Amino acid sequence: MNDFFIKGIKHGIKKGADQVEIFVLEGASDITQLEKNAIFASESKTITGFGVRAYTKKGLGIATTSLLDKDSIKDSVNKAVKLSKLSPPDDLFSSLPGPFTKYPKVKGLEDKTISELPAENLTEMAIEAIDSAIEKDEVVVSGNFKRLCVTETIFNSLGVEVSQTFSSLTGVIFAKAEVNGDIATSWDFQKVRAKADFKPNKIGKVAAKNAISLLGSKKISSDELPVILDHRSTMDTFSSIVAAGLDAYEVILGTAFFKDRLGEEITSEEITIKDNPLHEGGVGSAVFDDEGVPHKELTLIDKGVAKAYFSNSYCANVLGIENTANALKSNLGSKPHPDLTQVQIEAGTWTIEEMISETKKGIYLKDSALGPSEGSPNISVLIDQGFLIENGEISYPLKETMVGTTIFELLKSVEGVSKSLINESGSISPAVKISKASIAGGK
C-alpha cells in the first residue's frame, strides 16, 4: 500500500504542486458500552482514511477520504493540488519539514496483548468494573471500555516516510449514588498502553467511592476563598493554561497569554512544567509528531519562569525558533497546529494534609479543571466535584458552586505544590494550593 502513497506524492508533484504530504490512519477499535449496571452493546469500528496536503506557490489545498485504494489516492491528490492552485498564498509558509535521519526510541507504544485481545475479554473487563462498583448498593453505573489499535504513516515530498503503531485500553465508569432522593454523580477512568497496567476493578471502585463521597452536598454563600486542586485538577488546569499561553501559533496570532514573556517569572518558583512525548508507555508518547518530525522533551516553565513556546514547522519558520515537534492534526482534514503531547509537572514540598490543615476555610477540588474561557484569560467554572474545607478539615461536598478568577491571578496566587505526584500513563502532576479565588455560591 505504501507504494501507492509514494506514487501519490510523485503524482502530486507531477501535477504541479511544490510540496505534498499524505497522512494515513489505519486501525480499528472495539468498544463495550455499559448502561445501568449491565453490558448494553458491543461495537467494532474501522478507523481508516488519509489526508493530503498540497502546496503550490504557498497556496494550500487539502483533500481527505475514508477509502484506502489506489484510485482514491490519485483522486484525492488531484483534488488537493487543484485546491492549492485556487488558494491564495500564505506568505508566512516556507516549507514542510524534513527529511530526518534520526528518530528517538520510545518504548511501550504498542502492546501485542492489547492488539490481539479477544473482544470477549474487553467485555469481561467491563463486567469486572461494574461488579466492583456495585458492591455499594446505592450505586448505578454506566460507561464504556475501549480497545484501540492504530497505525499512523506520514509521507512527504521532502523524503519523510515514517510510521508508528499505538495500542491502548481505556475504561470510563460514570457512577450515580442515590440515598433517599439525594443524588450524587462521579466518575473514574484509566487509559493505558500496556494491558498489565489496566485495573478495571479499581476504575469501578473509585467511581463508586467518589459518587458516595459527594452525597449530602450543600450550597454555600459567595466568598473569596483559597482553593486546593487535587492532582488531576492541577494537571487539567495547568495543561489548559500552558496550552493556550505558550502555543507558538497563538503567539503569531497575538492571543497567547504569555506572548513576549519568555524569561519572565509568571508563577511560583515551585512550578516546573515539561512536555514529554518520550515517556515510556505514555498515552501521549509518540516517536514523531503529526508532520513526521522527531519528538523531544521540552521545558515550558522552569521554576516559575516561562522558557519556551511549543511549535510546529510553520510556527518555527515564522518565529525563527526551534521546531519543538508539537504538530497535531485535530482530524485528517485539518492543518497541523501546535499542541501539547504529555504534560509533566514537578513535585513541590507540601503534603496534601498540610495544605488542608492550614486552610481555615476553603475549597478542595477533585478532578475538575479551572480552565480559561474561550479566547479569554477569565476563568468561570462550575465545581462538579468539590468540598468545603472548614478549620483545616474537609467538611462537606458542594453543589451549585462556581469559581471565578483569571489565569494571571491563579498563577500569581500559587501558594504551595505537593510533594506527592500522580503518574497517569505519562501525565504527571502534583496537587496545588492557590491562595484565593471568587467563589459564587447558591445559598
Partner 1 sequence: MMDKTQKILEKFTFKKGDFADIRIEKGKGISIAIQNGRPEQISYDHDIGVGVRALIDGGWGFVSIVGTELDEIEKALIKAIKIAKATAIKSKEKGMITEDHVVEGSYKVKYKNDPRDVPLEQKYEIVEEFERTARTYSDKIVKTNASIKNWFQKEIIVNSLGTKVYTEYSNLNILCMATAREGDTMQNVYFLKGTTSGWEEIERLDITQKGVELAERALLLLNAEKPPSGKRDIVMDPSLVGVYVHESFGHSEEADSILADDSILKGKMGEQLGSELINIYDDPTIPGLRGSYCYDSEGTKTIKRQLVKGGKQIGYLHSMETAAKMGVEPNGAARAMNYNHRPIVRMGNTYIDAGDHSLEELLETIKNGVYLENSYGGYVDTAKGEFYFSAQGGHLIENGELGAPIQNVSMSGLCLEVLERTVALGKNLEFAFPGSCGKASQSVPVHAGGPHLAVKQIVVGGLK
CA–CA separation, 359 vs 226, rounded Å? 8
Span from 250-258, 304-312, 343-351, 427-435 in contact with partner 1 (CB under 8 A): 250-258
Q: Which of 237, 216, 185 is nearest to 381 (CA)?
A: 237
Q: Which of 317, 307, 273, 310 is nearest to 295 (CA)?
A: 310
The distance of closest approach from Cβ of residue 47 to partner 1 in the complex, given in angstroms and rounded to an integer, is 8
> Binders of partner 1 among 123-182, rule CB under 8 A?
123, 127, 140, 142, 176
CA–CA separation, 120 vs 127, rounded Å? 11
Q: Which of 47, 106, 97, 54 is nearest to 75 (CA)?
A: 54
Show the binding pattern over residues 47-66: x = contacts partner 1 (CB under 8 A), - = does not: -xx---------xxxxxxxx
Find the helix or strand (DSSP H, E) in which 102 lies. none
| Residue keyed to cell 497563538 | 250
Find the helix or strand (DSSP H, E) in which 235 lies. helix 231-245
Minimum CB distance to partner 1 smaller for 9 or for 52:
52
Q: Which residues contact 155 (CB under 8 A, 6 or more apart)?
A: 2, 5, 6, 8, 9, 21, 22, 24, 161
Among 2, 44, 113, 357, binds partner 1 (CB under 8 A): 44
Among 115, 299, 351, 378, binds partner 1 (CB under 8 A): 378
Q: Is 254 in the site for partner 1 (CB under 8 A)?
A: yes
Among 2, 94, 253, 349, binds partner 1 (CB under 8 A): 253
Q: Is 201 in the site for partner 1 (CB under 8 A)?
A: no
CA–CA separation, 274 vs 268, rounded Å? 15
Minimum CB distance to partner 1 smaller for 251 or for 301:
251
Please state the φ and ψ torsions of residue 261, each to the nearest 5 degrees.
-120, 15
Q: Is 266 in the site for partner 1 (CB under 8 A)?
A: no
Span from 100-108, 227-235, 246-254, 288-296 in contact with partner 1 (CB under 8 A): 246-254
Minimum CB distance to partner 1 smaller for 59 or for 362:
59
Among 201, 213, 222, 395, binds partner 1 (CB under 8 A): 222
Span from 30-38, 278-286, 302-310, 345-353 in contact with partner 1 (CB under 8 A): 30-38
